[in-house]
Each structure stands twice: as C-alpha cells, then as structure tokens.
C-alpha cells in the first residue's frame, strides 16, 4: 500500500512539474522548393507526423501546435513570429519547438519558390522568449546551421536541462552536414532522418527504459540509423549534426510514453530483430525499431498494424490489432515466417537478391545400353532474383557395365547452369525451369584382352521441376526431377570399331538440403 502511495505521489509530482512548463511548437513542411528543384514526396507528411507525435506524447496542447503544410516563406515566418508573441506574454516557463522538412541549401530554406535565410530562421528561434528552444531542420545541407563542415561523425551528447527548465538554452538538430543532401525513402514513406527521429519519439529511442524519450536519446537513435540506412544509397552516407548552448540538470524530455496511456496502445517487440511497423498491410511506415539497441516498446494510436521483423536468416510478418489501454507483445510464434528468398520473389522491402548453397544425392538412369543406374553427389550455388532463380550445379556419379566379355566402371562429371521460376505456396515452394551444360564421361574396362580406358564429352540439356520445404535454422529440404538429353559420340556397335554421334535421354532424381543468406 505504501509503495502504491509513493508511486502515485511520484506520478503526481511529475505531472505537476510538467504542468509548470508550457510547450509550443511550429511544424513546417513543404514538398516544393525552388523552380529548378524536383518536388519532394514526403516533407509535408513528415511535418504532420511530427505534429501528431508531439500532440499525443509530448505534452503539447492542441492550441499550442501550429502546422504549416505547403505554405510559403511568409506563412512560415508569420507562424513563428505569432508563436513568439504568445510566448512573450506567458509568465510561466516555456518551450518552443520549430521543425522544418523541405528543400534548402547552405544559405536558406526553399518554400514553394520563396526563401527564408538560415540566419533569419536561427534568429527567430534563438531570439524567442522561450526558456528552452529546439530547432530541427530536415533539409539538404542543413548542417550549415550548426557550422559543421564535411561529413564527420558527431559524438554522443546529453542535453542538460531539467523538466522545470532551471536553466535555459537552445538546441539545433539538422538532418545532414553542410555539404550533404538529405534523402527520402519510398519504402519508408518519408525522409530517413525524420523517420528515425519520429520512431525514436514513439519509444524506439527509449534506451534506458524509463518511459521517457529525451532529446539526446532521440537524436542518437536518428543519427545511428540514418547513417546505417543511407550507407547503401546512391547519394551516400548522410550525417545528422547538432549544436547546443544550454544550462540545467538532467535531460530534457520530448515525449512521455505513458502520456494518454488509456487512449493509446503499446506494442512490445521481441529482441533480436529489427522491426518496421506499417499502418495496415499496405499502409505507410509508422515506426522502425533497430535490432541492436533502442527501446522495444512503441506507443501507438489504437488500430490495425502490419509488423515486419527482420532477423539474420529470415523475416517474420503479420497483422496486429492494438486497442486503447492494452499492450500487445509481438513474438515470432504469432507471425508468419518468410525466408529471404521468398521476400525477394514477391518484391517485399528493398531486398533485391539472396544467395544460397545446395548439396545432396542424385540418381540418373543409364545413358548407354547395359549400364547400371548412375549414383552420385551434387553441389550448387544459387542466386534468387525477383523473376528467376539462377544456379550453377556441379556433380558426379558412378555406374557399372558388365557382359560375358568385359566389365567397366563409368563415371560422369557434369556442370550445368539452371534457370528456374519459383512458385511459393504457404508451406512449400515449387520450381520449373531449364538447364544446360556439359558432361565428361569416363569408362575404365576390365577384360581378358586389351581395352583401354576412354573419355568422351557431351552436351546436356534438361527440363527441371522441384520442390522445397522449409526446415528449422533456415534450411530447406529439396527434391527434384530432371529430364535430360545427352548429345555424345559412342560405339556404333560391338566389333565395328566405329563411332556414332547421337542423342540419349535420361531421367535424374535428386534430394538434398539448401540454405539461403
């Protein structure tokens, strides 16, 4: 009972402390820049997402939030000036957050053919009467605001301002260094930096698990993941930057995950995977959680979500329904497992190919009259592409031959190139395709007389069909059948000493194991 009273008292004290600080924000997004700049796709939606997160989890009252979508420079300038005028009339301590997503260069923001010089934006924020000011700019070459030249990684930092704002100061965060382009992602449905910054505010950046996301946590999460995500893009690595001049104690908290807890749902994600959370199976990306760090719990609005978790060997995905005031724990057992090869074939995510290895046993019917079944081993390397799987397969088998005059051992070594189209069902995958290659046939005779060993080459063409069933550990059980045509020279008949060139037909059955990476 006493512990419960202490917890209640602590929560009340925290609520009172937060109530002493009034929060204001101006969120600006514009997809259009100068006349010679290509239109962006997600700048305005990034600003809307930031608005919604601050309203739901950041203790920003709706009347203290202003969203400027698609407005020109005058509209953005008026919104910041009007908010500063409101702040100047307050007697309590205040916070001002200004967020911009759109076009820019090293000198100015570009809003639909108009501009705001970066120096003016900085002055509007730095000169505000707010006790604490945060400026977040997600734009090309925005690092000029923080005077960071070049693409050098920024060190970790901690914002030392407590919730009562005993000190004062300003923090500037930018999405790119002064010589870099800020990048958007069609897969994420937003800019890289804003996507990860907002994901962090929803809980992915809550590394200490205290239910709060401070500026330092959100920035570090956005920084690390922006570097990771842009390291493989055509434009190259994008380095977020920061600058701050502040006093006080403790980190300044931007979002409280327990805020409106009864009105929102909580999604707890299993460790060991990175997760994307979508607004429905074909909806926009809501948040992303890194596998290597960050919080594993997200605070989301009630509704239906589609969750995709990526691990070292496979992917799991499925639908999750969140209800107000409830927590849903996402585990692999409740989701459908998808091998990466399947993901490539159905065009999911940004994975364009997978590489695999296969090995096993095969049996082939005789090529020449009187031979036994040829038994052997095969190994293959395969590459899965969206429309076709390509493989290089090598193998060798041994057969025997015997009659009243002689006996022989017959070995065949073959190398084939295979092209398959794969059809994925729920538990099994079927493939159908063609193969072609070459074979070397070697015969060694045992006879009463003289019969030297001989070798001959053959061209081989085949039609293939197979199936694969997923096993534990990312392995597949493989089975297949191939109809083969061999074109080769061989004896025309006993005692003739002549050779003839023709085709022979054989059937091959194979079983084995495969693994994809």
The CATH code belonging to domain 262-334 is 2.60.40.1120
Task: State the pLDDT at residue 449.
Answer: 54
Structure tokens at 69: 């979508």
Cα–Cα dist 386/96, whole Å: 48
CATH class of the domain comprising 13-259: alpha beta
Q: What is the pLDDT of residue 57?
A: 94
| DSSP-assigned beta bridge partners for residue 244 | 171
pLDDT in tens, 45-101: 999 999 999 999 999 999 999 999 999 999 999 999 999 999 999 988 899 999 998
Instruction: Give span(s): CATH 3.40.50.1460, the chain.
Output: 13-259
Find all residues with CB under 8 Å of 60, minimum gap 6, and list them.
23, 24, 25, 54, 97
Tell me where in the chain the CATH 2.40.160.20 domain(s) lie. 354-516
CATH of range 354-516; options 3.40.50.10790, 2.40.160.20, 3.40.640.10, 1.25.40.10: 2.40.160.20
**pLDDT for position 148:** 35
The Cα–Cα gap between 250 and 159 comes to 7
For the stretch 213-267, pLDDT in tens is: 988 888 888 877 777 766 555 455 555 555 544 444 446 788 998 877 788 999 9
Residue 465: DSSP 8-state: E
**Contact (CB, 8 A) for 310 and 291:** yes
- Mean pLDDT, the chain, integer: 80
CB 62 within 8 A of CB 55: yes
Q: What is the mean pLDDT of residues 462-476?
A: 89
Burial 471-491 (b: 16+ CB within 10 A, else e): eeebebebebebebebebebe
Q: Per the structure block, which two tokens stand in for 101?
A: 């997503």
How many angstroms separate the Cα of 254 from the Cα of each of 217, 383, 428? Answer: 10, 46, 48
Could you tell me where in the chain the CATH 2.60.40.1120 domains are found? 262-334
DSSP assignment string, 268-328 = EE-TTSEEEEESSTTS-EEEEE-SSSS-SEEEE-SEEEEEEEE-SSEEEEEEEEE-TT-EE
145-175: per-residue pLDDT in tens?
443 323 333 343 343 434 444 345 667 676 6
- Going by C-alpha positions, the residue among 267, 339, 272 that lies closest to residue 306 is 267
**Residue 442 forms beta bridges with which residues?**
411, 455
Question: Comparing 43 with 446, which gets the higher pLDDT?
Answer: 43
Residues 114-126 have pLDDT tens digits of: 999 988 998 998 8
Give the residue, 369 or 356, on which the prediction is more confident.
356
Question: Mean of the pLDDT values across residues 487-511?
Answer: 76
């Amino acid at each position: 009972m006493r512990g419960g009273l202490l917890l209640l008292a602590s929560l009340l004290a925290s609520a009172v402390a937060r109530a002493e600080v009034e929060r204001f924000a101006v969120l600006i997004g514009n997809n259009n820049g100068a006349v010679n700049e290509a239109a962006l796709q997600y700048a305005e939606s990034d600003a809307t997402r930031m608005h919604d997160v601050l309203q739901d989890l950041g203790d920003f009252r709706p009347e203290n939030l202003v969203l400027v979508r698609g407005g020109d420079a005058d509209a953005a300038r008026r919104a910041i000036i009007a908010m500063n005028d409101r702040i100047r009339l307050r007697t309590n301590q205040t916070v001002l957050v200004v967020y911009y997503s759109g076009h820019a260069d090293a000198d100015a923001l570009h809003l639909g053919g108009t501009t705001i010089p970066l120096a003016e934006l900085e002055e509007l924020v730095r000169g505000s009467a707010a006790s604490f000011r945060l400026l977040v700019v997600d734009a090309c070459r925005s690092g000029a605001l923080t005077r960071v030249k070049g693409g050098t990684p920024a060190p970790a930092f901690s914002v030392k301002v407590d919730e009562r704002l005993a000190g004062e100061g300003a923090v500037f965060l930018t999405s790119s260094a002064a010589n870099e382009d800020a990048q958007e992602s069609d897969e994420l449905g937003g800019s890289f930096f804003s996507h990860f910054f907002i994901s962090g505010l929803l809980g992915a950046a809550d590394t200490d698990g205290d239910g709060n996301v401070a500026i330092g946590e959100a920035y570090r999460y956005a920084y690390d993941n922006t570097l990771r995500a842009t390291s493989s893009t055509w434009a190259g690595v994008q380095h977020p930057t920061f600058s701050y001049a502040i006093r006080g104690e403790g980190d300044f908290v931007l979002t409280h995950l327990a805020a409106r807890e009864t009105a929102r749902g909580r999604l707890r994600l299993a460790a060991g995977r990175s997760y994307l959370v979508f607004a429905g199976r074909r909806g926009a990306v809501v948040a992303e959680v890194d596998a290597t760090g960050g919080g594993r719990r997200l605070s989301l609005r009630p509704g239906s979500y589609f969750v995709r978790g990526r691990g070292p060997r496979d992917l799991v995905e499925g639908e999750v329904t969140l209800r107000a005031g409830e927590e849903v724990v996402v585990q692999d057992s409740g989701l459908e497992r998808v091998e990466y090869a399947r993901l490539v074939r159905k065009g999911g995510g940004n994975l364009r190919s997978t590489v695999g290895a296969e090995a096993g046993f095969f049996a082939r019917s005789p090529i020449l009259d009187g031979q036994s079944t040829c038994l052997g081993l095969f190994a293959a390397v395969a590459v899965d592409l969206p429309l076709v799987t390509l493989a290089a397969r090598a193998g060798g088998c041994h057969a025997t031959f015997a009659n009243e005059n002689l006996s022989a051992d017959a070995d065949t070594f073959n190398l084939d190139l295979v092209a398959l189209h794969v059809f994925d069902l729920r538990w099994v995958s079927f493939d159908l395709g063609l193969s072609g290659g070459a074979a070397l046939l070697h015969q060694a005779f045992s006879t009463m007389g003289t019969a030297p060993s001989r070798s001959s080459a053959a061209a081989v063409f085949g039609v293939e069909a197979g199936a694969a069933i997923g096993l534990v550990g990312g392995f597949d059980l493989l089975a297949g059948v191939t109809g083969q045509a061999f074109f080769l020279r061989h004896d025309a008949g006993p005692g003739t000493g002549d050779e003839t060139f023709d085709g022979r037909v054989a059937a091959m059955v194979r079983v084995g194991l495969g693994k994809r990476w």
